[in-house]
Chains A and B, each alone.
Chain A
Amino acid sequence: MPIDLNILIGGAAGQGVHSITTPLAKSLVRAGARVVVVQDYQSRIRGGHIFNLLRVSDAPLAGPREGVDLLVALNQETVTLHLPELSPSGFLIYDADLVKEVPAGVAALGLSLEELLPGTKAGEIAVNAGASGAILGLLDVPVTGLAQMLAESFAAKGEEVAGWNKQAATRGWELAQKFPHPVSLAGLTPPAPPRLLLSGHEAVAMGALMAGLTFISGYPMTPWTSLFNAVAQRSLKYGVVLEQAEDEISAINMAIGASYAGARAMTGTSGGGFCLMTEAVGLATMTETPLVVVVAQRPGPSTGLPTRTSQGDLQFVLWAGQDDGPRAVLAPGSPAQGYALALKAFDLAERYQLPVFILTDQYFADSQHTCRAEDFPARRIPFALDLKPAGGVYERYALTQSGISPRRLPGFGPELVVADSDEHTPDGHLTEDLGVRVQMHDKRLRKLTAMAGEMRGLTTAGDPEAPVVLMCWGSSLGPVSEAVSRLQAEKVAVRMVHLSELWPFPREAVMKALQGAQKLVVAEQNASGQLARLLRQETGLTATQAVRRYDGRPFTPEYILRGLAGVV
């Protein structure tokens, strides 16, 4: 049996839940473990209750699961809330200065500041370093790497603080070594660098940088912000111009302006921010300006649940904007797909001159996964434009069979680039000639035909002949594929069809993948069944059952399996 350990680290916002999780997760990756980290947080700066879930294995992991094997409680509330989830063989590590009541019969280790750092004036947060060390101690992972990491990350706060953290981690490790623990990671082989632990948004940022991103504008909004941040931290190094706009309307218009003038541009937002952007989605469509837009979903309507996850904006993004307009909609299910689809998004936007959407969500955005370097192949996205003078008459919106007109950049030759949001003539000037309007509209829509042939993104798993099909999209990939493999382990014939490229809808491929299905279950994280509706619209196929979650937490394999009770 592979190792499968679930660690929950909980406390109040501001207590340093992340300061434990990040170095701990990195230490485990460096020891050779596979790790998935999921963040659960509230819309507040301090207080409340937040937790991170760290799943550890020696085999590849698809996503998180339920249950707790190792609970780290930074306050009493965490004990109250999560102790019922602790497995019978589970272990509790707690901050003994803040947690005063631990029920009898629980295997536990309390860490106090006095014990970790006797005689020092270290702040209470140093207990976190002790807890990190203690976890490694229980799991038989050497503490040296973690201690070094902590010393380095606290170096900016001075030698004394760095020393305290290092000392606390080491002491926590020593104390935990005295406890027997059923799981040991001592047998793992440390991998060679690069040792990757990536969040979905970091992977999208990496893909965008590989694709040649040179301009990004946005307005901070959870959960989109983590992607904006990931680029910001590297913008100077990679020559990316980044502008924090005054609002989302400005952000998308600025990106359109930059793209019109020749930058490889991207913007992004969440929920209400995308409502503000929709008018400019039409602008990018009408002016045929390449643009990549990330929409990081969260539950709504309106402000909704700002820090939780959702797949409720699929239908909105498919149709956002006035009238009909060609676009592509992509929804990655893993960091590897996030990277690949970011590249594909820039490629499609560039060649078809239209907006391409990457639909992510809070779970995808913030959860971190161990990745392999081979998941991220190098690829170059050349410009689909000619900068050499054309000679003769240049028409920005020349009517073509493919629907794609020759794109040029202002200032790169004598040809003038005339772009217009009004309906326009082939040379870009506004017109009220209704015949031209129909020709232009048809021309733009023709792009969909060719683009449809490029849509792939079908991930299948399980028994290809199984009568029960579990269909899902975007970030549900991990939990659904694990549910399928658990059912298979129990000899239940079931298969998964996951979609990561949703528009233009890959009709033929989906029809083929669903052949022979007697029960079609669509699992998605919205209330109305938006993928099920899209499937019916595009193929005429109706889902027989649904598993839906829209309470703001991501799917887990257990949630899917509970939802399938009575189906399989």
Chain B
Amino acid sequence: MLPLSLYDSIESAWCPGCGNFPMLKAFKQALAELEIRPQDLVVVSAIGQSSKFPHYLKCNTFNGIHGRALPVATGIRLANPGLKVVVTVGDGDQYGEGGNHLLAAFRRNPDLTLVVHNNQIYALTKGQASPTSDQGTKDTLHPQGVPYPPLHPLALAVAQDCSWVGRSFAGMPQHLTEMYKKALTHKGMAFLEVLQPCVSFNKINTYEWYRQRVYEVETRPDYAPGDELWAYRVAKEWGERIPIGVIYLNPRPTLEESFPQLKDGPLAGRLPERPLAELLAEFS
């Protein structure tokens, strides 16, 4: 195991009590246990409080624009498949602004870990509903309540053949560390949603609210993460009981494996020799 201090970076600007703190700590723990060195890791994020995550972690970082972390991360993987790539974004970012990229990433199956911090609210813009806000949630933009039901991201992932789908809860640090480790060691796209209470703007989905509802899915007698229909049913479960753990396992070839161009090593720093005469013949 590597020392945890290896991953220490600048001081954070999160609210005291934010679910991002235990997420950061558990992530460092997972990295240290898996002995992933900062220089071999790229954490890609976008916009939102969750997207400040890579700044508070010592590693290579690409902090991009709203909703677009997955395309950037995919480009990084294709340029250098030797890098461990993690995308860390929020529910508004990935499920709202970045929805199209989420669908495309499920299909592509790049070998990366997508961590969505789901607090069911837009926090950075001060408390608007997100795609995962419950129907009826009242906010400044919906004084009469959100008129439609929330998105089911995990069910969407299962339906779109994502190769690894799981969920954890920021209030259970040990579970979170284990889930990070599983996601980080999965080959292909691992989609980990973390229930992460927003202590400033979401007064309904609090630590306590989640604590009363989450259960470890592996304890189910019918646990069968390799079964798509079972996984779909469980992924849709939301309300009185909320499953956490590995919900779907679907090993399949990665995006990177579909490019023979990458067999000779990373594109990174590669300056191919292309003889002019051959190029001219190619275009004549």
Give the interface of A toward B (CB within 8 A).
Answer: 193-198, 202-203, 205-206, 209-210, 212, 214-215, 217, 234-241, 243, 245-247, 249-251, 253-265, 279-280, 282-283, 287, 373, 376-378, 380, 382-383, 385, 387, 409-422, 428-430
Contacts and interface: CB of A to CB of B under 8 A. Distances in A.
Nearest to A246: B104
A410 B60 contact: yes
Interface string B107-128: 0000000000000000000000
25 contacts: A194-B281, A215-B79, A217-B75, A238-B274, A241-B259, A246-B103, A253-B65, A259-B75, A260-B75, A260-B76, A261-B76, A263-B78, A264-B271, A376-B279, A378-B276, A383-B271, A410-B60, A410-B76, A410-B83, A416-B58, A416-B61, A417-B61, A422-B63, A429-B9, A429-B10
Nearest to A209: B274
Given A193-B284, A246-B100, A250-B104, A257 B272 contact: no
B75 A256 contact: yes
A430 B75 contact: no
Interface of B: 9-10, 38-40, 42, 44, 47, 52, 55, 58-65, 68, 70-76, 78-80, 82-83, 100-101, 103-104, 259-262, 264, 266-272, 274, 276-277, 279-284
The listed residue with most A CB atoms (<10 A of its CB), out of B42, B65, B79, is B79
Given A194-B280, A196-B283, A409-B269, A416 B274 contact: no
A412 B76 CA distance: 13
Contacts of B268: 261-263, 409, 411-412
Contacts of B83: 261, 410-411
A416 B73 contact: no
B280 A253 contact: no
Contacts of B276: 210, 376-378
Given A214-B261, A249-B100, A251-B71, 8 more contacts: A209-B279, A236-B260, A246-B103, A260-B76, A263-B75, A287-B64, A411-B39, A412-B268
A215 B283 contact: no
Given A246-B100, A253-B68, A260-B62, A206 B270 contact: no
A412 B265 CA distance: 13
Nearest to B40: A411
A212 to B, nearest CB: 5
Nearest to B80: A261
Given A241-B261, A257-B74, A421 B64 contact: yes
Contacts of B38: 416
A217 B104 CA distance: 14
Given A241-B267, A382-B271, A411-B60, A254 B71 contact: yes
Contact of B55 (A217, A256, A279, A429): A429
Closest 4 CB pairs of A and B: A257-B75, A262-B268, A257-B72, A261-B79
Nearest to B268: A262
A413 B39 contact: yes
Contacts of A416: 38-39, 58-61
B267 A428 contact: no
A197 B280 CA distance: 10
B267 A196 contact: no
B261 A239 contact: yes
Contacts of A411: 39-40, 42, 60, 80, 82-83, 266, 268
Contact of A214 (B59, B65, B270): B270
Nearest to B256: A241
A92 to B, nearest CB: 32
Contacts of A241: 78-79, 259, 261-262, 267
B68 A430 contact: no
Contacts of A259: 75, 79
A280 B80 CA distance: 21
B260 A215 contact: no
A412 B284 contact: no
Nearest to B62: A419
Contacts of A412: 268-269
B185 to A, nearest CB: 18
Contacts of A380: 271
Given A245-B71, A249-B68, A261-B83, A287 B62 contact: yes
B267 A258 contact: yes
A214 B273 CA distance: 11
A256 B72 contact: yes
The listed residue with most B CB atoms (<10 A of its CB), out of A206, A255, A409, A411, is A411
Contacts of B60: 410-411, 416-418
B61 A206 contact: no
Nearest to B82: A411
A366 to B, nearest CB: 15
A414 to B, nearest CB: 5
Contacts of A377: 276
A236 B264 CA distance: 12
Contacts of A195: 284
A5 B281 CA distance: 28
A280 B68 contact: yes
A407 B98 CA distance: 29
B65 A279 contact: yes
Contacts of A420: 55, 61, 63
B44 A418 contact: no
A374 to B, nearest CB: 11
Given A193-B284, A280-B65, A418-B61, A246 B261 contact: no
B283 A255 contact: no
Nearest to B273: A380
A410 B78 CA distance: 13
The listed residue with most A CB atoms (<10 A of its CB), out of B47, B52, B73, B259, is B259
The listed residue with most B CB atoms (<10 A of its CB), out of A254, A280, A287, is A254
